[in-house]
């Protein structure tokens, strides 16, 4: 979900944190609801502050997942806040079912800790009489009580066994002890999609956000299952199994106009660029179009050739390369063995290879 439409908040613990632009729609919705209720400006502000405090708790929830995953050997790229909650982009999840269980449980555990801290403060430090507070509207008096209740709700909601929510991941990790992870994911996916349909249906009568959450769960479950299928197949093959040695090449001194002409009639992926007969980089379609916008047809290829595109070696598994290309949005990558150019690999070829292998299993 990282994109130019996100507001970056920094990189605590080396993890990029951002707020997606759609989060602003939640604030607009809160203002709309509270204005329709006839609340005073100060009361409207309290509701906005409550939402911000709640999402601070959601952010801590995602840090619980992320830091635990890193501790257990995983890799985390980013955390994005959305109107329906937070999303941690864990690029490499720990493999063992026990570790996945721990990572999945870490998020709800953070919210339990927050709730306990708030309860201790309200019970032993605050002088407020909780029994006499009114809870219809968020005020300075009931703010912390409502935040405590919201954290407990986050725990309860996340533990629903609807994959890919935390409860669904806990369920899958438990199943993975007794069967393959692919089969466990399929079962968790099916159950998650049943819950998603229930959420969508309930959203028409209770809260429209349930509809959004339902679609998120339905599509997320299917997407994660498809990724697991890719992993199950592509982990059995390496780059050398499908590296392309038949590719289109251009000299770095040729013009962008020549590259554009050949792109339309010969290649639909990109070009290998040579300098003095040796590999010099990759010219992708996107780089070519950007170059044409800046330098025109007379511009030289060497002005825009991508020399720093990440290289892969023939021994890497296809799944590792597939993930890397998706993460970096590469359509094509060079294959080098001990700095010797061997060919190229493009995302379209990996997808076609997967479809063939999946069909013949």
Give the single-character DSSP code of 180: -
**Residue 263 pLDDT greater than 80, yes or no:** no
Kindly indicate the confidence band of residue 1, based on its pLDDT and cuts at 50, 70 and 90: very low
Q: Is the pLDDT of residue 271 over 60?
A: yes
Q: What is the DSSP letter of 302?
A: G
d(C-alpha 130, C-alpha 123), whole Å: 9
Per-residue pLDDT reduced to its tens digit, 120-155: 998 888 776 666 667 678 888 889 999 999 999 999
Range 312-340 average pLDDT? 88
pLDDT digit string (tens) for 66-89? 999 999 988 898 999 988 888 988
Inter-CA distances, 67 with 74, 75, 89, 107, 298, Å = 9, 9, 12, 10, 50
Classify domain 239-360 by CATH architecture: Roll (3.10)
139 dihedral zone (left: phi>0; alpha: psi -120 to 50; beta): beta
Q: What is the pLDDT of residue 266?
A: 67
Preceding peptide of 164 cis, ω within 30°: yes
CATH 3.10.580.10 in the chain is located at 239-360
Q: Please name which of 20, 109, 97 lies closest in space to residue 63, comparing C-alpha atoms.
A: 109
Place of tokens 């997606």: 20
- Choice among 123-132, 205-214, 230-239, 274-283 with the minimum mean pLDDT: 123-132
**Confidence grade of residue 211 (pLDDT, cut at 50, 70, 90):** very high
**Separation CA 300–CA 295 (nearest Å):** 8
pLDDT at 39: 87
């Amino acid at each position: 979900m990282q994109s130019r439409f996100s507001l970056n908040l920094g990189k605590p613990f080396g993890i990029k944190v951002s707020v997606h632009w759609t989060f602003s729609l939640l604030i607009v919705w809160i203002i709309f609801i509270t204005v329709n209720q006839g609340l005073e400006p100060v009361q409207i502000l309290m509701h906005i502050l409550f939402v911000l405090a709640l999402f601070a708790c959601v952010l801590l929830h995602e840090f619980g997942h992320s830091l635990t995953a890193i501790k257990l050997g995983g890799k985390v790229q980013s955390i994005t806040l959305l109107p329906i909650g937070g999303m941690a982009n864990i690029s490499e999840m720990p493999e063992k079912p026990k570790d996945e269980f721990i990572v999945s449980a870490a998020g709800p555990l953070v919210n339990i800790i927050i709730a306990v801290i708030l309860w201790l403060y309200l019970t032993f430090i605050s002088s407020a009489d909780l029994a006499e507070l009114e809870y219809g509207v968020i005020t300075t008096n009931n703010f912390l009580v409502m935040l405590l209740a919201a954290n407990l709700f986050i725990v309860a909601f996340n533990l629903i066994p609807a994959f890919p929510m935390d409860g669904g991941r806990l369920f899958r990790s438990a199943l993975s002890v007794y069967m393959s992870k692919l089969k466990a994911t399929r079962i968790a996916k099916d159950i998650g999609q049943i819950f998603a349909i229930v959420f969508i249906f309930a959203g028409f009568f209770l809260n429209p956000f349930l509809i959004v959450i339902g679609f998120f769960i339905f599509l997320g479950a299917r997407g994660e299952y498809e990724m697991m299928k890719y992993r199950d197949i592509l982990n059995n093959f390496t780059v050398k199994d499908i590296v392309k040695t038949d590719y289109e090449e251009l000299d770095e001194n040729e013009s962008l106009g020549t590259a554009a002409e050949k792109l339309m009639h010969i290649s639909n992926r990109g070009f290998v660029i040579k300098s003095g007969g040796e590999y010099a980089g990759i010219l992708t379609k996107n780089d070519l179009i950007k170059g044409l916008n800046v330098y025109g047809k007379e511009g030289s290829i060497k002005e825009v050739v991508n020399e720093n595109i990440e290289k892969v070696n023939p021994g890497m598994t296809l799944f590792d390369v597939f993930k890397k290309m998706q993460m970096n949005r590469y359509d094509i990558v060079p294959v080098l063995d001990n700095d010797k150019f061997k060919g190229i690999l493009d995302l379209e070829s990996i997808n076609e290879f997967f479809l063939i292998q999946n069909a013949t299993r």
